Amino acid sequence: MTGFTTQEVSQILGVTPGRVRAYVRAGLLEPERGSRGDLRFSFQDLVILRAARGLFDARVPPGRLRRALAHLREQLPRASGVAAGIRISVEGKSIVARDSAAQWQPESGQILFDFGMEELARKAAPVARRAFRQAEEESGNALSADEWFGWGCELEATAPQEAREAYERTLALDPRHADAHVNLGRLLHESGDAASAEGHYRRALEARPDHATAAFNLGVALEDLGQEGRALEAYEQAIALDPGNADAHYNAASLCERLGRPADALAHLKVCRELTRGSPHREQRFP
């Protein structure tokens, strides 16, 4: 079973198990349940709980605290990169989320506290690695491809090397697992191996030609490899599969400009602006 136990969350965040359970009873988040009914928290749950503790300590009224965390919960999936790269700050009686690309906030105010998600990821890493190794020892070859994939998703924020191993186990059992190819490709790409990432993105598209994320990430990899013409083709494929992908339009516009196609560049930029108008946070590079 993936996820952090109540006791592990207590140790990582430095709060009592009773307080962790109180946050759950208050409806601030809905962790999964283990086979015995025990609570299992994801890394995203840790982010929410860390912010909740800061807001609670800042004496934010319960109703406002719930609204602020609801906004954060909605915005976390849109953040660029993994949740570990996000920084959460309590500003006055609201929260602000930041990553390397942008910052976004439910409300505004002066920074009073600063909670680094990278620090949180470092604290959670030993727990995640230990749980993964225990699962390897206990399950042997009993886990399915999808179960190993679940481990990979769970480990990305805290133990990326183990996440790569989990995705490799997934692909050993199911070589056509498109999402595992995409996720493993992204981890390899982020580590600087764009060439290997390209191969995984292409295999994802072979398995699922309609995989828009694979097409977009392929474009990024090819662009990083200096293959601008092929990168543009990949972005155009991503746009055909997902016309609402503002980042694909933005990257395609940049390539069109460099390739001497100003009219096409302007067309892509126009669509990008229409798609992102009024959006509080737009991610780039990896969706």
Residue 105: per-residue pLDDT:
53
Residue 203 dihedral angles phi and psi, to the nearest 5°? -65, -35
Q: What is residue 120's predicted lDDT score, i.e. its pLDDT?
A: 63
Average pLDDT over residues 16-22: 82
Compute the average pLDDT of residues 17-28: 79
Residue 202 has pLDDT above 60, yes or no: yes
Predicted local distance difference test score (pLDDT) of residue 233: 96
Least confident of 21-25, 101-105, 224-228: 101-105
- Category of 284 on φ-ψ map: left (φ > 0), alpha (ψ -120 to 50) or beta: beta
pLDDT score, position 1: 52
Q: What is the pLDDT of residue 235?
A: 94
Of 239, 226, 235, whose CA–CA distance to 256 is shortest? 235
| pLDDT of 199 above 90 | yes
pLDDT category of residue 39 using cuts at 50, 70 and 90: confident
Question: What is the percent of the chain with per-residue pLDDT over 90, rounded to a whole number?
Answer: 28
Read off the pLDDT of residues 86-137 as tens digits, 9 standing for 90 and up.
Answer: 555 655 555 666 655 455 554 432 333 444 556 666 666 676 667 767 766 6
For residues 193 and 15, what is the distance between their CA atoms, to the nearest angstrom? 39
Location of structure tokens 């920074």: 111
pLDDT of residue 138: 64
- Distances from the Cα of 31 to the Cα of 4, 47, 70, 110, angstroms: 10, 13, 15, 31
Per-residue pLDDT, 118: 60
Determine contact, residues 72/51, Cβ cutoff 8 Å.
Answer: yes
245 versus 200: which is more confidently predicted?
A: 200
- Whether residue 281 is predicted with pLDDT greater than 50 in this model: the reply is no
- What's the average model confidence in pLDDT over 166-185? 94
Q: Radius of gyration (Cα) for the chain, nearest Å? A: 20
User: What would the mean pLDDT of 185-189 be, rounded to a whole number?
Assistant: 91
Q: What is the pLDDT of residue 242?
A: 93
Residue 15 pLDDT more than 70?
A: yes
Which has the minimum average pLDDT: 9-23, 66-80, 212-226?
Answer: 66-80
CA-based nearest residue to 250, from 287, 199, 214:
287
Question: How do strand 94-98 and strand 103-104 relate by DSSP bridges?
Answer: antiparallel
What integer pLDDT is reported at residue 137 of this predicted model?
Answer: 67
Q: Which of 26-35, 66-75, 200-209, 226-235 has the lowest mean pLDDT?
A: 66-75
Q: Which residue has the higher pLDDT, 124 or 188?
A: 188
Q: Indicate the average pLDDT of the chain.
A: 77
Q: Report pLDDT digits (tens) over 45-66.
A: 887 887 777 777 776 666 667 7
